[in-house]
């Protein structure tokens, strides 16, 4: 039996339906993005009055960093629940009884976290860009649109989300407690966010080439992570708590 997108779709659709009716998930997906659009906008609108023009780029970078928190942390909390949560609710065994392969199950789970994250993150970024372009001081708007800020944001949003998702699923597949899985998966996203913080704050001078190179490396890591997490997926341990 080969890889089946029908089975992947079944898992993704089920997950999205479940998210939609889960008040906790809806609240998280609403409040977190709201928080991380309001804070950078305040910072951007306030910047010209208080910030030295030489530090403007740094200030803009900091406000953009807020928005990378969305793809870094939003999917990791969702994906941390993906395996251990189903196991706790007793819904994992009926799924594992079907012909589904670990790779299909994991891709289905990953897409269910990836799609809404990407939609929300790009929507929030779009609103930020529009608001900055329309209402911020032209010097600030120019600092936002110029340079590599937009490129970094566009390139790294999906890749950061992918990293957070695979870390979350990996932890979830090995954990026995949802709360522990969520804490560990959020921690797992911090190192990558730290690198992006250094780039956003110009500690690491970002050229277009460096951004694209890092993005390609992260894409490779995300793909390898999928295979690694699939290899870690042990049906027997997930069902009985013991190894084969």
CB of 19 to another protein, least distance (A): 9
> Could you tell me the CA-to-CA distances from 17 to 68, 107, 177, 244 in Å, in that order?
26, 17, 23, 34
CB of 81 or CB of 128, closer to another protein: 81
Orientation of helix 138-145 relative to helix 149-174, angle to 10°: 60
Nearest alpha-carbon partner for 131 in 32, 51, 56, 41: 41
User: x/- binding map, residues 101-140, to another protein, per CB under 8 A?
Assistant: x---------------------------------------
Nearest alpha-carbon partner for 162 in 64, 75, 237, 70: 75
Q: How many CB atoms lie within 10 A of CB 189?
A: 24
Nearest alpha-carbon partner for 144 in 69, 203, 67: 67
CB of 9 or CB of 174, closer to another protein: 9
CB of 232 to another protein, least distance (A): 16
Which two structure tokens, joined as six digits, stand for 193?
A: 């966010």
Q: Is 174 a binder of another protein (CB under 8 A)?
A: no
* Dist CA 8 CA 103 (whole Å): 9
Residue span binding another protein (CB under 8 A) among the ranges 36-44, 50-58, 91-99, 196-204: 91-99
Q: Strand, helix or coil at 234?
A: coil
* Dist CA 215 CA 177 (whole Å): 32
Residue of 50, 54, 99, 138 interacting with another protein (CB under 8 A): 99
Q: Is 28 a binder of another protein (CB under 8 A)?
A: no
CB of 88 to another protein, least distance (A): 11
CB 56, CB 86: distance < 8 Å: no
CB of 11 or CB of 56, closer to another protein: 11
Residue span binding another protein (CB under 8 A) among the ranges 171-179, 190-198, 202-210, 232-240: 232-240
Q: Is 176 a binder of another protein (CB under 8 A)?
A: no
Contacts to another protein by CB under 8 A: 1, 4, 6-7, 9-11, 13-14, 17-18, 21-22, 89-101, 235-236, 239-240, 242, 244
């Amino acid at each position: 039996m080969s890889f089946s997108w029908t089975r992947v779709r079944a898992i993704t659709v089920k997950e999205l339906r479940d998210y939609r009716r889960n008040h906790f998930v809806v609240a998280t997906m609403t409040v977190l993005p709201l928080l991380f659009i309001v804070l950078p906008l305040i910072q951007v609108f306030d910047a010209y009055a208080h910030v030295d023009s030489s530090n403007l780029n740094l200030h803009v970078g900091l406000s953009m960093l807020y928005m990378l928190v969305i793809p870094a942390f939003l999917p990791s909390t969702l994906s941390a629940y993906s395996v251990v949560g189903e196991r706790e609710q007793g819904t994992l065994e009926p799924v594992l009884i079907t012909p589904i392969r670990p790779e299909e199950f994991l891709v289905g789970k990953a897409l269910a976290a990836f799609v809404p994250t990407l939609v929300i993150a790009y929507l929030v970024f779009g609103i930020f860009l529009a608001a900055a372009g329309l209402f911020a001081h032209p010097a600030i708007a120019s600092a936002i649109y110029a340079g590599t800020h937009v490129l970094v944001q566009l390139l790294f949003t999906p890749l950061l989300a992918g990293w957070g998702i695979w870390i979350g699923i990996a932890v979830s597949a090995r954990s026995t407690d949802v709360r522990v899985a969520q804490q560990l998966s959020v921690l797992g996203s911090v190192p990558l966010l730290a690198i992006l913080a250094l780039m956003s704050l110009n500690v690491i001078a970002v050229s277009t080439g460096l951004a694209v190179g890092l993005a390609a490396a992260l894409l490779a890591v995300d793909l390898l992570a999928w295979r690694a997490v699939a290899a870690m997926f042990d049906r027997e341990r997930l069902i009985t708590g013991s190894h084969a």
